[in-house]
Structure 1
Amino acid sequence: MVKSIEVTLTSYQTEPAAKACGRILVSKDNLLFLTGALESGRLCIVEKIDGDGSSVPVRREASLWASPDPLRRNLGRVSKVFREACGFGSAEKCRITFAAENGLDAVPEAAEVVVEDVTKREGLEPVASDPEKLPLWMEHIEEQLDAAEVVFPGMILRDVKRRRTRRDFAVKTVNGETNKLARFCVDQTKVRFPSHSLALRPASSSVSATGSTAMVRAAPQRLQVDPIVGLESTVELLNEFLLFLDPTGDHRVPGESCAVVLQGDTGTGKTMLLKRLAALDWGRAYHIQPGEKLSAIQDIFTEAAEHMPSMITIDNIEKLLSEERANRAAVIQLLSKLLDQLAQAAVTGPQLVVIVTCTNYTRDIPAELRQPGRLDDSITIPFPDTETRQAILRSFDMPLPPASHDAMIRELSLKTHAFNGHELRSLFYKASKKKRARIKETGDMAQQCLIDQDFDVVLQSAVPARMDGINIKPRPVYWHQIHGQAALVEALQSAVDMLNDPEEYASLLKSSPRGFLLYGPPGCSKTMTAQALATESGLNYFSVKGGELLNQYVGESERGIRELFERAKRAAPAVIFLDEIDAVAGRRSDFGDKSASSNRGPQVVPALLSELDGFETLSKVFVVAATNRPESLDPALLRPGRLERHFYVPPPNEQARRAILQTWAQGMSVSPEFDMDHLARLTDKFSGAELVGICHEVGLAAVMKKQKERKVRPDAEPVLLTTEMFEDQIRKTKKMITAQMLDFFSTWSVSY
């Protein structure tokens, strides 16, 4: 039975060894469907198909292999070498066919391989001009073919060296065909030159001068980037923008820009994307360095226009346009003029694209360059969320215990809030160093896998560099540790669910709640609830105290708020926790109240209001704020659409106090007569923090008692924690929460 599948062929993230260049990787499910077994290395047919699924005249043989990494069923991977030899695009839709009964099973041996000299070096004559040296070159050619193991037409053997001379050779046919794949056998395969010295590549093709092995490429048709783990949505948007370069598509409208800006935080993949684009060999690539002179920038644009297809890249344009640059205004003016000229030529469809990267589009790109037809289009590279971090971690192929591989990846993704791809890879490298040190210390050479301990040690000191000054790694707290706040926990869990799956509730709710205010007496688990939200939700978490945002210099506090929200937006889905919000959002004097908690706080309120619901909407970001002084907050913050959900967090009730005591008592040396119910009743109106403090003081008293007894009698009886010890400490502890305070919160709850 002939079986086939349709996939989109993409390239490897890292080009494989020469012996793997003829392989096509598919998912294990697809391999099982096609061949009925999970056996790699069987021969298949790869055909390029057009949009309606009909075959077009590109049909090549390949070796079918199961992908070692997870791969979607609609994708296949091939080497760049094989893709270019076949004339496949960077994301070509192809049909893979397997038919074992027709003999298409094992990769056959190559009986004959015909190669040609395609060297293009000044002063070097074709090898055919000296027939006596052909056998000498043949020995070196066979060595490279033997290293490759499989051969196929279009293969270029780079830098074949004989003495001090290097030549390039192309495989023209295998077993007399131009579409076959076969195994090269040194003793059986005959290698020969053709009777003529014509080069294989057509006039419209070009051969890259870099790399040890390359393919003969057809004339470039389109510029497209293969999917990248963790950046699938970004690559999709970039490829949509690049469609204007497709010669078969519609030309741009007059004045439309041929430039795009990739914006994202450090380490999110901007430079990698530029390198991927340049590596596609679509056309000539030009790069503008930060220190380029005006004349050099002009020359680069001129040369790129004269040698189309071409691309111009500017990495970190904020460095090129640095405020410290003396002729900054002139550079901006020149770039504006050059981009305008390209936009005006849109009707003719020039094959030239400008790719720019920056950290923050609105801050790093001057307003003059953001005008229509210039750098008016930007693509945001999002910060990795939990699922993306899992995908990135899986792509590293880390040596983890098979039994706990998935669980470790999942747990590690939850522990690495706000880590970018670079920092995740650095984490892997550092954990590997810890593993080697552990093996050296224990001598257990059999344990070559990374374990949780290796990562935990590194994570203790690992802080994402760009998050300096913001607490993104709260103490792990879980929902079951939040006692007596069922309604609040349910509301936050519901908000996270709506944030992660908005389409599910779109028919019921126009917009999900974006702001939560937690208010109540000190020590009643407001901050702890936010920590549980961060631990349980898997969202990127940004925590900052209101006072930390205040700055004595005019405008700096407002800037701090804008940057906090910008970070959260780029890291979405995310949650911002503003602890002690009264320090930064006090009442303005217009409301006739002097209860603002700081001189700068009221002046910062407009910036906070603007971020909450101004012109910029918060996409997949919600805010949780906490305060002990809700009356001091500016009323404008509390209306619907801002901090619209208000939750009173009261002192724990008797049941919650008992749960706190029970949690504390686990693993402690308590007396058999320990009366937890009695103590729960006795601690009425104590906050959760006060109750934990009482437990701590009782423990300290017990330690001191044990130390005194051991000095007198080393064999003294063990000291147990008793109800009486708690009763004594409760009598000594003054309640911070007063009846007047509770009455006030009750009254405020009714008002808001």
Structure 2
Amino acid sequence: MIKREQESRIVGQLLTLMDGNKKLSKKLPHVVVVASTNRVDAIDPALRRPGRFDSEIEVTVPTVEERLQILKLYSKNLHLDENVDLQIIAGWCNGYVGADLEALCREAARLAYRRLSNSSEDGKVLTLLMEDWESARSQIKASMIRGVTKEAPTVSWDDIGGLKDLKKKLQQAVEWPIKHAAAFARLGISPVRGVLLHGPPGCSKTTLAKAAAHAAQASFFSLSGAELYSKYVGEGEALLRRTFQRARLSSPSIIFFDEADAIAPKRTGPSGDSGNATVGERLLSTLLTEMDGLELATGIIVLAATNRPKAIDAALLRPGRFDMVLYVPPPDAQGRHEILRIHTRKMKLGEDVDLGEIAERTELFTGADLEGLCREAGMAALREDLSASSIHKAHFEAAIRSLRPSLTKTEVDEDAAAAIHGPARKN
């Protein structure tokens, strides 16, 4: 209470002084009041009017060209290797502000100094290599994504087996509008605003979204229902609005909603069934409003994943919000073969192991099931001999006997039928 009274007195004094500054401006025309803040909405509205703070200038997140100029400024006294391309580094640093770029240059110089001090060569000039900048970027994160997302995705398309057609559709929907924005503008094509991935659990829906974000080199914001549901009224909606605001400031960016059915459940009616249903309806209303507001924003794409598409409110499943609804099926034999090769890349396999044969025998196994199968085969080899140096066919045979697929034929057929008729439309 005392703090509020003190703030009110300070605001009142400032208003009086600024109103009195009009008379002084005739005698002292060079007196100008300049203020800065990172919480403009917290300022008393009485100050934000003509005659006091007449104009407001927003200092936004720097663009690629501005990031390049900032990097050149902070690295002008550094010795850069001829292979270092600051233009490429500026493209990496989407969402970075000036302080982040200064910290990036400092971290890259520190890594270069550590590398030089560990080398045996004397009198060598401290030179920053491209590897130093890449390592520094993994350490220095953009300020805009702190507190909203955990970490930037590092999954690539090569880490996902099969699903070639689906990956191609995601590339066209997510990568092309960001990397080829000029081509879209030239033809007057409106980019996809939202993509919903649905399918059985364990079929790489979340991994596909992360791979798309990594390939597009966009700022990545990830939210789940557990983060948005709070015991405090309005906190989840505020987090949702703040995430979209940060995404707009650091565009191009991707907002990813995992388990979208928890964030946007079907509305049950005017009263709702329970307190949780009411919270879900408020979150859904906020999400609908924010997605409609993306019409004025460029370079922002919303991705969502669910294994219960029928539980999502129909208001989201229309063009203009989730423009694309893509079904992620369980992998076929070729896809299972690729997944097995991916998960055994770091394993030493015996000559008798035939991954193609294992793929044929693991029908209905999802990507998560196949990952567990490879791990179980490795554990079988260790249980047999702790000093084992390779994994053989017998170990995979034991793993297949001990594991069962997550899905049944009925579940797959139901999901496939839902994909044909679609939760909203055919894709």
**TMscore range, shorter length:** 0.7 to 0.9
Q: Distance in 1 between matches of 2:132 and 2:4?
A: 41
Distance 1:416 1:503, change over 3 A: closer
Q: Is the 8 A contact 1:500 1:573 kept in 2?
A: no
Equivalent residue, structure 1, for 2:269: 590
Identity over the aligned pairs, expressed in percent? 31
State the Cα deviation string for residues 623-679 of structure 1 (Å, max 9, x = none).
111112222222212222112211111111211111112223335322223222211
Aligned 1:270-309 pairs, distance under 5 A: none
Distance 1:593 1:405, change over 3 A: same
Equivalent position amino acid for 1:426 in 2: A
State the Cα deviation string for residues 66-88 of structure 1 (Å, max 9, x = none).
xxxxxxxxxxxxxxxxxxxxxxx
Q: Distance in 2 between matches of 1:326 and 1:595?
A: 41
Equivalent residue, structure 2, for 1:489: 167
Distance 1:501 1:429, change over 3 A: same
Instruction: Provide the secondary structure at the position in 1 that maps to 2:215.
Output: helix
Instruction: Provide the secondary structure at the position in 1 that maps to 2:304.
Output: strand
Equivalent residue, structure 2, for 1:400: 80
Return the offset for 1:439: 3.1
Instruction: Provide the secondary structure at the position in 1 that maps to 2:316.
Output: helix
1:325 equivalenced with 2:7 (yes/no): yes
Between Structure 1 and Structure 2, how many residues are aligned? 413
Q: Distance in 1 between matches of 2:315 and 2:104?
A: 44
1:473 equivalenced with 2:151 (yes/no): yes
Return the offset for 1:682: 1.3
Q: Runs of 5+ in structure 2 lacking a partner? A: none
Q: Distance in 2 between matches of 1:591 and 1:648?
A: 32
Aligned 1:341-420 pairs, distance under 5 A: 355-361=34-40, 363-371=41-49, 375=53, 378-384=56-62, 388-395=66-73, 396-397=75-76, 398-402=78-82, 404-406=83-85, 409=86, 412-413=89-90, 416-420=93-97
Aligned 1:564-713 pairs, distance under 5 A: 564-590=243-269, 600-614=279-293, 617-666=296-345, 668-707=347-386, 710=387
Distance 1:549 1:719, change over 3 A: same
Q: Is the 8 A contact 2:18 2:52 kept in 1?
A: yes
Return the offset for 1:569: 0.7
Q: Distance in 1 between matches of 2:244 and 2:143?
A: 17
Aligned 1:193-342 pairs, distance under 5 A: 325-327=7-9, 330=12, 333-334=15-16, 337=19
Q: Is the 8 A contact 2:334 2:359 kept in 1?
A: yes
Distance 1:428 1:491, change over 3 A: same
Q: Is the 8 A contact 1:587 1:595 kept in 2?
A: no
Return the offset for 1:438: 3.5
Q: Is the 8 A contact 1:578 1:625 kept in 2?
A: yes
State the Cα deviation string for residues 119-164 of structure 1 (Å, max 9, x = none).
xxxxxxxxxxxxxxxxxxxxxxxxxxxxxxxxxxxxxxxxxxxxxx
Distance 1:356 1:589, change over 3 A: same
Equivalent residue, structure 2, for 1:73: none
1:512 equivalenced with 2:197 (yes/no): no
Equivalent residue, structure 2, for 1:744: 414
Structure 1 or 2: more helix by fraction: 2
Q: Distance in 2 between matches of 1:374 and 1:470?
A: 35
Distance 1:505 1:432, change over 3 A: closer
Q: Distance in 1 between matches of 2:294 and 2:172?
A: 26
Distance 1:393 1:366, change over 3 A: same
Q: Distance in 2 between matches of 1:366 and 1:490?
A: 51
Give TM-score scaled by structure 2 length: 0.82
Distance 1:490 1:464, change over 3 A: same
Q: Distance in 2 between matches of 1:630 and 1:516?
A: 12
Distance 1:615 1:443, change over 3 A: closer
Return the offset for 1:520: 1.3
Q: Distance in 1 between matches of 2:334 and 2:275?
A: 36
Distance 1:621 1:375, change over 3 A: farther
Distance 1:705 1:512, change over 3 A: same
Match of 1:442 among 99, 105, 119: 119
Q: Distance in 1 between matches of 2:239 and 2:151?
A: 20
Instruction: Return the structure number with greater relative CO, CA threshold 8 A, min gap 6.
Output: 2
Return the offset for 1:328: 5.5
Q: Is the 8 A contact 1:586 1:605 kept in 2?
A: yes
Q: Runs of 5+ in structure 1 lacking a partner? A: 1-320, 711-717
Return the offset for 1:376: 6.9
Match of 1:522 among 201, 205, 209: 201
Distance 1:459 1:352, change over 3 A: same
Q: Is the 8 A contact 1:587 1:594 kept in 2?
A: no
Q: Is the 8 A contact 1:706 1:719 kept in 2?
A: no
Equivalent residue, structure 2, for 1:274: none
Distance 1:322 1:391, change over 3 A: farther
Q: Is the 8 A contact 1:579 1:625 kept in 2?
A: yes
Return the offset for 1:423: 1.8
Q: Distance in 1 between matches of 2:274 and 2:254?
A: 28
Q: Distance in 2 between matches of 1:704 and 1:660?
A: 24
Instruction: Provide the secondary structure at the position in 1 that maps to 2:296.
Output: coil
Aligned 1:543-554 pairs, distance under 5 A: 543-554=222-233
Q: Is the 8 A contact 2:195 2:325 kept in 1?
A: yes
Return the offset for 1:557: 1.0
Q: Is the 8 A contact 1:499 1:512 kept in 2?
A: no
State the Cα deviation string for residues 540-573 of structure 1 (Å, max 9, x = none).
2212223212221111111111111111111112
Equivalent position amino acid for 1:392 in 2: I
Equivalent residue, structure 2, for 1:534: 213
Instruction: Provide the secondary structure at the position in 1 that maps to 2:257.
Output: strand
Q: Distance in 1 between matches of 2:354 and 2:317?
A: 44
Q: Is the 8 A contact 1:516 1:645 kept in 2?
A: yes
Return the offset for 1:437: 3.5
State the Cα deviation string for residues 386-419 of structure 1 (Å, max 9, x = none).
56545533441332322x222xx46655664533
State the Cα deviation string for residues 322-372 of structure 1 (Å, max 9, x = none).
997132552575488579x69x99xxxx877665433254x2444444556
User: Which structure has the greater CA radius of gyration?
Assistant: 1
Q: Distance in 2 between matches of 1:633 and 1:596?
A: 18
1:734 equivalenced with 2:404 (yes/no): yes
Distance 1:669 1:648, change over 3 A: same
Distance 1:442 1:500, change over 3 A: closer
Distance 1:516 1:432, change over 3 A: same
Q: Distance in 1 between matches of 2:143 and 2:186?
A: 41
Distance 1:376 1:639, change over 3 A: farther
Equivalent residue, structure 1, for 2:103: 426
Distance 1:353 1:401, change over 3 A: same
Q: Is the 8 A contact 2:219 2:251 kept in 1?
A: yes
Give TM-score scaled by structure 1 length: 0.49
Q: Is the 8 A contact 1:543 1:579 kept in 2?
A: yes
Distance 1:626 1:366, change over 3 A: farther
Instruction: Provide the secondary structure at the position in 2 that maps to 1:590.
Output: coil
Equivalent position amino acid for 2:106 in 1: Y
Distance 1:677 1:510, change over 3 A: closer
Q: Is the 8 A contact 1:597 1:632 kept in 2?
A: no
